[in-house]
Amino acid sequence: MVGPEPQQPSRRPASHLRPLRIGDLEIAGPAVQAALSGYSDRAMRRVARVHGAPYCLHEVVVDKLLLQPGKLQRQILSVETDDHPIGGQIMGAEPVVFGKAARLMADAGFDVVDLNFGCPVPKVLGRCRGGFLVGDPPTALEMIDRVLEAVAGDVPVSVKMRRGIDDSADAERSFFTILEGAFERGVAAVTVHPRTVEQRYVGPSDWEFLARVRCHLGDDPVLLGSGDLFTAADCLDMIARTGVDGVTVARGCIGNPWIFAQVADLLAGRVPRAPSLGEQRAALELHWFESLADHGDRKGPGRARNHAIKYAALHPDGEAVRDAFVAVRGEAAFRAVLERYYPAERSAERAGDAIDLAAAAHRLKSCGVAGGRVASPS
């Protein structure tokens, strides 16, 4: 059925937030790091955890790749002891394969298996994966069935979905059919990105739709929201305005791992502060080290550079720093940028308050173009 008419959700002020739980897993905060294709690798997750992220998702993985023995499979299924709690996100088109991939993730030590019914990238849709499934309830629900059977209660299962293929009534009916069916079958949580698949990342996300979903479900099912979360204030505003239990931060935490600690500050009644240049340098150095450790000297610098370009938006000389990072191709060049723009004598310097800085990071639109890669939240 089509969801209810818009109405005022039951608000959850910061002081009355219930603990965020996915199945038996309790998460120490309402804002978590989303799965980001090409970004949320082990290096990004480690940096995010150092800065307060209570739960992180691995970048989305195609289920068939998990079933192919080899280096890539071993890398994906290698969950280290300091990388918890972690969710493993998969997408695919064949229910049986989906179930087998979920079982491998559960056996590897992922704390949650997350199913991607939201990715709007054309090549994904063309293979009947990701967001394609939000328009195909029978297949989507069969895939949920196969995953739940495969993991057999060993780990909780969550679902990430968009609010429909498009803005039609049929698309909305399909969304609510999958949403209701997922919870009826035993899914532990659902994350809703309130843009349509057709919309991709263009235009504002419809937070009022999230409020409708909360009212439709009632208070008990665990619902997370996503979309247009670029500051700590955005995260708590979404919770207050829509009644969701928590939020998944996607593009808003690329180059800004401090957003998680800033959410904690707001919840504790403290004023969040922007990171100093010394703190930014420490995060950049850690990210560089972890990227090379995970991806080697050939791929590591490029992965780290994509993030460094985003960090530049938090610097007082953001555009110059961004351009300098764009030109980095190796460690010597990376160190030279740090020495020039993040010297010890400027370590205490900040570029303004945390809220303004996070908004500035979002506005620095040319970062993605200059860096050659745009974040693709799954």
Q: Which of 31, 47, 52 is nearest to 234 (CA)?
A: 31
Q: Which of 323, 242, 339 is nearest to 281 (CA)?
A: 339
Q: Are 334 and 301 in contact (CB under 8 A)?
A: yes
CA dist 330 and 196 (Å) reads 40
CA dist 296 and 248 (Å) reads 29
Q: What is the DSSP string of 73-116?
A: HHHHT---TTS-SEEEEEE-S-HHHHHHHHHHHHHHT-SEEEEE
CA dist 349 and 168 (Å) reads 50
Measured CA to CA in angstroms, residue 284 lies from 263, 280, 288, 308, 361 at distances of 21, 6, 6, 7, 16
Q: Which residues are catalytic?
A: 119
198 class by beta-carbon count within 10 Å (0-12 exposed, 13-18 middle, 19+ buried): middle
User: Strand, helix or coil at 34?
Assistant: coil
Q: Are 110 and 90 in contact (CB under 8 A)?
A: no
> β-strands 86-91, 112-117: how paired?
parallel
Ranges assigned E (strand) in the chain: 20-22, 25-27, 31-33, 36-37, 56-57, 61-62, 86-91, 112-117, 157-162, 189-193, 222-225, 246-249, 376-377
4 class by beta-carbon count within 10 Å (0-12 exposed, 13-18 middle, 19+ buried): exposed
Single-letter amino acid, residue 262? Q
Residue 162 bridge partners (DSSP): 193
Give the list of residues 6+ apart from residue 122 with CB closer than 8 angstroms, or none: none
